[in-house]
Structure 1
Amino acid sequence: MVLSHKEAIRAQVWQELRKVAYPDSRFHYDFSSFIADFVGSQAAADQLLAMPSYSSCTTVFITPDNCLEYLREKTLQAGIKVLITTYGIRRGFWLLDPAVIQPELYRYASTLDGLEKVGQSMSLAEIASLDLQIGFMVTGTGAINHNGIRFGKGHGFFDLEWAMLYTLKVVHQDTMTAAVVHDCQVLDEELIPETYDTVCNLIVTPTRVLRPEAAMQPTCGILWYRLENGMLDDIPPLQELLAMEKAQEEDISSD
């Protein structure tokens, strides 16, 4: 089997990541199935938490990646709401509100097992009605280059999450996007982003913070024809958004 360019890069990075990554209880070291936690992830998260632009947010979006569990806990402790998706977005978006969750449960709420026990399930309509203005979107990733272009697991979940929230107008082109990664995941590899690629404004590692100057976020929303087979069936928020867009088209055509 001939690997694509991105697949070859992932395979190369994953060899180095194996040296510093923690295994997942379900997926062992299968980095195609999860974004790994790694040695130094707390130091990287602390750098992000110390930024005034982060600590001043009222709501942030944080992906359900293993390397961001500590960040989710500390964000709740800082009094900031966390919007998160379940693994693979299959059970949609959830809101972790530190004003509602008991402080002794913040750590539990930050885990994939705990978030659905103590968080609040949120439809896209509910997210829009609350007008959750998200100040940061934070993700882990398989690898990233110095221009902020990510090499994830290959499914594009973060791009889908951005596109859905952008369509709801709770994130905008000036919303900060950050990747929390190990230093070995930062590459010099040159890539041209796709129209739908969510490029990161910040790259935070245990030892440094990089700020790609030319990072631009997509404005195309969901490109329905580019979805992987089965995604629409597996991801309820996509079904909800498609219904919302069809209803809007019908309203326009009836005027």
Structure 2
Amino acid sequence: MTRDKPAIRERVWKLLERRRVGRFPFPLAGRIPNFRGAEAAAARAATLPEWKRARRLKCNPDAPQRPLRLRALREGKIVFMAVPRLRTANCFLRLDPERLKGRLAEAATIAGAAKLGEPVAPDGLGRIDLIVAGSVAVTTVGARVGKGGGYSDLEFALAQAVGAVDERTPVLTTVHELQIVKERIPMTDHDVPLDLIVTPDRAIRTRRRRRKPAGIVWTKLSEEQRREIPALRALRSE
């Protein structure tokens, strides 16, 4: 069965609330939902070879992935987080644990990253070894539903445009088991599929059916995005 993304989001948010597995911040609706067991999911993700090999990660800023960000920093990995809505030319924040002695827990938060991170443009990312994405719902074939803004996919496209990521760059998410859905999630040519789904109880290597986007799909961008995101304007002018 295929359902549209808004319907899937609403169903999953309500299901997590009904089963009382959601965690602060509330309400869950409108967010990448935090969940009980996020720390266990992060610990399981850290056992994967893709995680162990990675030295540089791009990670979403949402609450359920904070345990992953903190673990990465404690393991000496460099973490990049996007500036909200990509609203500045230096639209990524570089968190280098070598420069954050004693402040790793703070840096792993949204506010801490904004305060302590070094702003860099997309061409300052270098080579990204692993992407951590937040999800509202996922399927075992690698389809993903985010909170609806489209910024996670756009961040990938910007990174791809400067050679920081490509088809081989693994994309991982941590979720509660209830976020794994059986419905078919519709995917378009700018949606980034998942390679790894990790819950508190298991790690899934997806049987993804789609390749990752090859770059920015300019026709899918709104006029507002083209106008308001400096990194897009810079690429357009090259």
Q: Provide the TM-score with structure 1 as the length reference.
A: 0.85
Identity over the aligned pairs, expressed in percent? 29
8 Å Cα contact 2:13-2:28 kept in structure 1 = no
- Secondary structure of residue in 2 paired with 1:94: strand
Pair 1:122-2:139 in alignment: no
Residue 6 of structure 2 corresponds to 7
Tell me what 1:205 maps to.
199
AA at the equivalent of 2:174: V
Identify which of 31, 35, 39 aligns with 1:38. Answer: 35
Equivalent positions of 1:39-188 (< 5 A) are 39-91=36-88, 92-102=91-101, 104-127=102-125, 132-188=126-182
Structure 1 residues 233 and 66: alpha-carbon distance in aligned structure 2, compared to 1, 3 A threshold: farther
Q: Are the equivalent residues in 1 in contact too, given 2:128–2:165 (CA < 8 A)? A: yes
Per-residue deviation, 1:95? 0.6
**One-letter identity of the residue aligned with 1:121:** P
Structure 2 residues without counterparts, runs of 5 or longer: none
Displacement after TM superposition at 1:208 (Å): 1.0
Distance change >3 Å, CA 46–CA 215, structure 1 → 2:
farther
Q: Which has the higher contact order (CA 8 A, sep 6+)?
A: 2
Q: Quote the offset at 1:116 in angstroms.
A: 1.9
Alpha-carbon distance, 1:172 to partner: 1.4
1:169-197 alpha-carbon deviations (Å, 9 max, x no partner): 11111110011111110011123521111
- Paired residues in the alignment total 232
**Given the superposition, is the C-alpha separation of residues 215 and 137 from structure 1 closer, same or farther in structure 2, using an over 3 Å criterion?**
farther
Please give the alpha-carbon distance, in whole angstroms, between the structure 2 residues aligned to 1:105 and 1:138. 21
For 1:21, the equivalent position in structure 2 comes to 22
Relative to structure 1, is the Cα distance of residues 235 and 36 closer, same or farther in structure 2, using a 3 angstrom cutoff? farther
Instruction: Write the mapping of 1:223-234 to structure 2, written as runs, cut at 5 A.
Output: 223-234=217-228
Letter aligned with residue 8 of structure 2: I
TM, length-normalised to structure 2: 0.91
The structural deviation recorded for 1:157 is: 1.3
Distance 1:31 1:233 in 2: 28
Aligned residue for 1:70, secondary structure, equals: helix
> How far off its partner does 1:150 sit?
0.6
* Inter-partner Cα distance in structure 2 for 1:16 and 1:160: 28
Deviation at 1:210, TM superposition (A): 1.0
